[in-house]
Amino acid sequence: MSYKAISAEEAVKVIKTGDRVHLSSVAVTPHKLIKAMVERGRNKEFYDVKIQHIHIEDKVDFADPEFEGVFVSEQFFVGGNLRKQTQAGYADYIPVFLSETQKLIREGVLKVNVAMIMCSVPDKHGFVSLGTSVDATRAAVECADIVIAAVNPNVPRAWGDAIFHMSEIDYFVEDNSPLYTHDMGELTDMDIAIGKNVAELIEDGACLQMGIGGIPNAVLAQLGNHKDLGVHTEMFADGILPLVEAGVVNGKRKQIDPGKMVASFLMGSQKLYDFIDDNPMVAMMDVRHTNSVNVIRQNDKVTAINSALAIDITGQVCADSIGTTHYSGVGGQIDFIRGAGYSKGGLPIIAMPSVTAKGLSKIAPTLLQGSGVVTTRANMHWFVTEHGAVNLYGKTMQERAKLIISVAHPDHQEMLDKAAFDRFGSHFRYVNPNI
């Protein structure tokens, strides 16, 4: 179905001082619209324009020092492209569970004036797709006063909540730019060791949640002999594709959305984007569905695999900052840790290397001052490093300290053991966490 397109420069003229602008995210970050908006800001045509987004990719300028007072960055998650600006205070972060990002928009806590999105070309019935990222953008499309769409033939026609009618769009801009892609990279020995320890916990028929990076890919690489795995996750990447092609991932045993791979956003190669194009096996859904604890828990054997920056000997997990230095965000970690915890046969897992690249222990007596606790010790179940896997659920403070230290790097175990002895007293020497 046809539409009338205008230039990006003309479309962004609707933005005015004080507006909040929502951006679609990850691979479908609407850079053509962003650049036109930034140029208006550079010309001081407006002030105090709030830029709202989850995780956007590639270089953007609106959080640079020159735009102080012109743009105000409101991120739901901090990516590498805006990390330095956030740490310097030129960009900011809203702590929120990923499941509730859409709630902030739908309930008007964060009123969206303009939604700038990227979508597929309308089909013969006039429907477009948000493609690789639905997340909270579906809510922004529903609630914004004005919707500007960069219509891009490279955006796959994904099913699920990604689909909506072009009548919801106010202004169309043509964009033929390729989607942002992400290379899986080579697995390290550390990734493989952690992946093997996690994979040993996963049963046939499990429903997987995983992110992107070496550890999730290493886990997936170990699952070739499993049967009837399902996917209900906030995101997946290329590592899942061989399991789909082999029939290992088929979703047969899922209680919710059986037979479908459910996600809210994707990031990976062009092969991944081609895979979801017009594929009824994949349902790209709003985060109020993918990340709802009440939805997640309805699948059996939900296996949630998340990572962290640090953990203390009582099981407090820091995943969004290094001390007071902000690094990423809460994301969907707690949504899935809690959902998996309520799932019949579920496995909530935090998996991470025991040491940093410089050999420093990521397991600490106490978290650095100012660290954000994302997963509390009350939420913890399985903790996995390259040295093993331990279950902290139902364990006392002293028992879990023993277990966590047992999977720390051997070079740091004596230091951690002494810290636990100093904290808990002489009885700590007699604690047997395996009883």
Output 41-47 pairs: Cβ under 8 A, ≥24 positions apart. 41/67, 41/70, 41/71, 42/66, 42/67, 44/70, 46/15, 46/16, 46/17, 46/19, 46/70, 47/17, 47/18
377 DSSP assignment:
T
Q: Distances in Å between the alpha carbon of 53 and those of 70, 232, 332, 353?
A: 17, 23, 15, 29
Angle at 366 between CA 365 and CA 369, to 5 degrees: 150
Token look-up 């909530």 returns 348
**How far is it, in rounded angstroms, from Cα 115 to Cα 240?**
31
Q: In the prediction, which pLDDT does 185 show?
A: 84
Helix (H, G, I), strand (E, B) or coil at 133: strand
pTM of the predicted structure, to 2 decimals: 0.95
Tell me the CA end-to-end span of the chain in Å, nearest whole number: 67
In the predicted model, residues of the chain with pLDDT beneath 70 are 435
For 171-188, b/e burial (b = at least 16 CB within 10 A) is: bbbbbeeebbebebeeee
Q: How far is CA 237 from the centre of its chain?
A: 11
234 is catalytic: yes
The sign one gets for the Cα dihedral 158, 162, 166, 170 is negative
Give me 400's structure tokens: 């879990």
- Distance between CA atoms of 231 and 206, rounded to whole angstroms? 8
Nearest to 372 by CA among 429, 324, 308, 300: 324
Contact 141, 117 (CB under 8 A): yes
- What's the token pair of residue 358? 């410089």
Of the candidates 57, 74, 100, 234, the residue annotated as catalytic is 234
Q: Quote the CA–CA distance of 34 and 42 in Å, as a whole number.
A: 12
Is the separation of the CB atoms in 264 and 288 below 8 Å? no
For 292-312, write each residue's pLDDT tens digit. 999 999 999 999 999 999 999
Question: 147 near 156, Cβ under 8 Å?
Answer: no
Please count the helices (runs of H) and the strands (runs of E) in the chain.
Answer: 14, 26
C-alpha closest to that of 311 among 256, 213, 383, 248: 383
Note the pLDDT of residue 213: 85
List pLDDT tens digits, range 53-64: 999 999 999 999
